[in-house]
Structure 1
Amino acid sequence: MAEKKRASRGKPFMDGGCDEAPASTQSLVVTSCRKTGRPPLARFWRRMASGLAGTALSGIAGTAMAQQQAIGASRLFTSSEVIFSSFAVGAIAAALLSTIWLVRQRGHLETESEEMRSALSEAQQRISNYEALIADKNRRIVIWEAGPSRPEFLGQLPAESGAPQEDRDFLAFGRWLRPHSAAELERAVEALRSKARSFEMAVETNRDEILDVQGRVSGGKAFVRFVALNNLRAELAELKIERERLVTSINLFQTLLDSLEQPVWHRDPDGNLAWVNQAYGDAVEATTPAQAVQESREFLGSIAREKIRATATVHSPFHDRVSTVVRGNRTVFDVVDVVGKAGSAGMAIDVSEAEAVRAELTRTLKSHAETLDHLATPVAIFDREQRLQFYNQAFARLWDLDLGFLESRPDHNELLDRLRSQNKLPEQLNWRNWKESVLSVYRSLDTQTNRWHLPNGQTLQVIATAHPQGGVTWVFENLTEQVDLETRYNTLVKVQGETIDHLAEGVAVFGPDGRIRLSNPAFRALWGLTEEQTAPGTHIRAIETACAAEYDRPDGWRLFGQMLTNFDDERPSLQGTFELFSGIVLDYAVIPLPNAQTMLTFVNMTDSARAERALKEKNEALRKADELKNDFVQHVSYELRSPLTNIIGFTDLLKTPGIGQLNERQAEYVDHISASSSLLLTIVNDILDLATVDAGIMELNYSEVDVDDLLDDVAMQIADRLYENAVTLEILAPKNLGTIVADQQRLKQILIKLITNAANFSPEGGTVTLRGWREGTDFFFSVADRGPGMSEDMLKTVFDRFSSGKGGKKSGAGLGLSIVESFVNLHHGDVRIDSRMGEGTIVTCRIPSAMNIRSVAAE
């Protein structure tokens, strides 16, 4: 198609591009060129003119021949007619040829148009494919035209990368990129647009995502492509960034080390110098550090290097002081050398001047120590780490501490704890706060002065002076003799005042002239006096007048006045009781004091008097209730037991054949009467036993009881009841359990109560297990059943009286376990119950053996 287009090009008609035409058609062609002036139409008219010219010539030739033939034949037409006919025929032929040519040209034009549309469609398809490829979510392209122009954006970056989705925010790199990445990218984009300088870099977003950025110039346009990296490419970019960081850090540290005044070096794994700083080069008199590395100039001696190589490890760096020669002078350095995978690195700090100062300081301190050691005043010096640096002999004598402990340079905190544990420091209510207050001088530049009153009676003036360089000097001045009287007096006055003011008793002290010296608030409150009425110096007569309205014995205060002002050599004390009109009962006492002073004390005994009266009334009521209870027990014992015994006796008599034959119903009724009477008698006996225990009149008849016989006797007596409940008794006890000193009847009663209770709650066909064993002089026995068990709430009330458990075959009065507990306690034993719901119950009793066989009443 390109070749066709080039072949169809011609010169414009207006510029003389029209081809020469015959004279007959020249005017037509020129007119056409003037009218259109377009190259395609010029070519058309040029071709048309050529055809017309050819047609005209052929027509002229044919006309001439026809004319000759006509002349020769008959000369029918004239010459003008022949010429006109020829022109007409030529015009018709030209028009026909032009039509044919135009049809052919139209076909060519349609073919070319179809080809152009196909090419355009292919180009648009390719453009769509490229745009789809560019619009991937993992890349974005920014395009700038040459010169100042607005950028064009293609594609998007993932949202998780933190890149803005809006075009206007995307070029604000500082908002979504790390500061260093944003600055570097802006410089690269500026160089790309202004100098066409391509670039490729990795940048970090604020969300720690890595982007690959590439800048190129093509076709006069600047292209910057942002690609979101992932997997290996992202890791590679991260490693690249990390490498740049490490390189920057290494360069920075090397620059820092070069600026240090201390020699620093780095050795490779073989021990050869790999890098040194400027100070190292100066120390070994090298022109540059590189020269020192190349010539392997060593800063330390061979012995020191061997020592470092032998002792330094990865986990234990070398740190010691090494002496070496620098510029001809012997110098002491504090050397640190660390070992790693890449070799070792070390640093040397010049401490020669510090060593000289330390030596001078040591000499000075020694001189001062000799001076202070002869002082009688205790002195101790602590360093900035609060460790004991110096102490004199007076300090050691003052605190009487072990010299080995002092020579170990103890911490001040530890020293105070040691003194406190030995009861050598003043007692403090809050030891921690007091200790922090004492040690606060280490954080202050001011001198602190305190007084310590030691438990041994000494008083110390403690002066703590902080040193500007750290540390504190402690001086302890013994002021015991100077402040002993002052301390005693102040302490006495303070204690006396505080004690009297806080006493619940009213206290008033009068001088020999009858004037009050002091009084406490309780005295004023009891007598309804004010502070003005009891001010020091007030005479007892005024106080007597103020107190006269409170009671009906005016001779009381008058008697006090006489005792205060008499001149007898021996002043007697006096005690008594006042009862005021308000109902308050006061116990008073008049107590002589030294220096002819007298103290009056008044104690409010109202509550005690009331309580005493109430106790007396209650005791009287209890005594009467006890008498009533004893009378009731005796009455019930006689009035209930006797009828029940008669009922049981007559019932048994009715069962004998000698009385007469009873029918079946009568015999059944008699059995019911007998069973009910026996049950009622048991309940009455239980109630009487408990009442006897409560009254404290039950006595235990101690005797030697054979345990084997006791168990056999219990098994015989309980057999009928077990048969009625369809329960089997299993006795598990070793033979020859020996004897125990106890009340046999009460022990038997305890066992029968427990077995009866277990049989009542055991299922039919079940087994009640009785176990017995000894532990020393104590006899243990337990009764276990497989009944429904007891809950936690039931266990709390199991020993309460008249508390009968649910789930038994027969309901009782609920006194069995109460009686068991009472009898066991009378034997000074104990009872324990273990029970779980659905698993049964185990009751265990411990009965200690009494030492002597005697009858003991219950307390």
Structure 2
Amino acid sequence: MDLDRFLPLLIGLLLGAWTLVAAWAVLSARAREKRTENQLRSARRLARMIEESPALPLLVRSDGRIEASPRLAQWLGIDAVPQYLSELDGEGRGLPKDKLDELTEAVRRCQKTAVPFRMVVTPEGSTRSLALRGHLADPQVSPGGAALVWIFDFSDSETELSRLREEAARAQGDFHALVSLIEAAPMPMWFRRPDGELQLVNSAYVAAVGAESAEKVVAGGVELIEAADGVTPAQVARQAVAKGAPIERIVQTTIAGQRRALRVSDLPLGEDGIAGYAVDIEDMEEMSRSFRAFRDAQRAMLDQLSAGVAQFDAKKRLAFANQPFQRLFRLSARSLKDPPAFERLLDAARDVGRVPEVRDFPAWRREKGAWFSTGDTHEEAWSLADGTHLRIVAQPLPDGGLLLIVEDRTEQLRLSAIRDTMLRTRTATFDSLFESIAVFAPDGRMQTWNRRFAADWGLDSEFLDTHPHVESLLKKIASRLKRPVEAETVGNVVRAATLDRTQKGGRIALADGRILEFAGVPLPDGNGLLAVLDITASQKAEDALRESNAALIEADAIKTRFLANMSYELRNPLNSIGGFAEMLEAGLGGDLSESGKDYVGSILEASAQLGEHIDSLLDLSQSEAGMLPLKKEDIDVMPFVRGVVEERAVRIGKAGLTLDLQANGLIRTLSADRRRLARAIGHLVDNAIAASPRGSRILVQVSRRKAGDADLVRILVQDQGKGMDGRSLARALEGMKVSADGKSVERRQGLGLPLARQLVEAHGGTLKLVSEPGKGTSAIIELP
């Protein structure tokens, strides 16, 4: 009964408790829902703040998956955020390949070592600049070792920074350029502090003061400019600051051991200091001194001229007048102390009669005064009352002045009159000559001629007075020639003299039998002179002489043939005489007495000399006739010459002479006729022996000489005899000598030198004699 009575109460309590629990649950749920809504609202606000923030997060998990805001895809220029980090590059979009590889490596290193990293990237095809800062993500954000990368867009900051960097770089470059310009300036430049002490100098300043560096110059306060009148350069700089205006002055200083003039400027720069520079004007000063010296030298030179020269300035006052001008216009020294004006000078010249007499002198003076304002040169001739003739040249100057040149032509006019007289005298002289003379101008026209010219060519005066052309003249004289076509040779001579400026000549035969020789001579004035001479008589004499010469040549040939034919006839008896004498000497005819042996020896010696003369005569005759036979062979020159000299050792010893045989250098072999070349050298040695006084020396020297491409063998035979002059040398080579009375020339007894010359020339060589009276004679043979 009690349970039934308490059951409704218990159920009511349970229901009330349940109601309370339900109410609490409802209230709790509502509180949690409100709290959740607040958290969602806060999350959305935070997500929106992150979306709107300048930094976007990029979560990279350990497997390479990524989480990021869609806004990052816009920054990277791709359509959507990919699932993996390796997919952030695209075709021309996203991250560059190298930057993506660098980011992947940095993320991997951060995930393993928790080392943060920073990067700056620029997406492909974009000007956006992105800064990446990565670190290991908090486990609450992403467990498992993910990397969180914050991406910042600092494009605007980068642009501003780039602009500032460019401006800074430009300013720095301008500063360096300015410093380099100041440093490279050829003039010394410096900068002073407001107190006047040096703060900066350039290299030109350092070089000028001879210091080692700019630092030492500034530290030592080395001044370029010396103190003047007790005022130092620093004090001058402070004066410029006090005045607030630049100070410029010209001072003298010593640079590199030379005294130089400098234009120094101090420029105040407000409170910053004072700038200064120095310009070397020594060259300008030197040029100014040179100009003054040139002007003085020019005026001194003008004083030496025969023409008068005067210079007037822009104010028409006389600035300079040389001595001839002063003499011509009779200017006094007092008038030059106060230089007169141009019009006053003309007035003074009129008073002394140095201007021409004119009717209206004031108008004439104004006309001459107008020379200053015209730009043309004026030239006039003044005839003075005393017979003086002046040539006046007025040249306006660029500065408004006038240069007046006065030349006294009185003497020239007198010489011109004398010249006319001389021309008339020349014409009279031409007419008196035995030669025919005509002068032609370069255009071929005849200018002047004499009467003999007309007579020799048979020309009338009326035709010559027309000053005919050379072609017309040739047509006239062609009919008077033996061969009319030869008239063109006269024209060629005239053209060569007038146009080619060369001298030519020729001969021509006339139809009447006369022979004329003509020559064209260029004259200094550009004309040509044709001189014609009748050589009919001399030509006849020349023909006669030519016939006589031909007869002499034929006689000489007959003589040569006679000597050649008689050589056999002369040699046979001589050989017989020599043979029998040798037999007698050998005792085949019986014993001989001592005197007989002497006679036989004399016979042998005489026969040998006669044989040598016969050979020489035969060789000379054959050489002159051009029929000398040569049997050439290779000869070793030095032994060959030594053999020739040793054959005459006995004669050299008897004459009391000394022989000096020399060889200079390596001597090549020589192709020659041994016998005939030995005879030529022997004759030269014989002549040296005969010409040398007792006790003297004979030099025989063999050497080589280069003459262009030819290699010559040179043989020198030199004595110390009396020597010969030039005329005697020429005659000696021709076999001639001066007679005892000194009035004629006769044939030498010996044939040595002519024969030696003929034999050497037959070998293609030359023989030359060099001698002076009292210095001996040198015979030089040169063989190819």
TM-score by shorter chain over 0.5: no
TM-score (norm: length of structure 2) = 0.35
> TM-score normalized by structure 1?
0.32
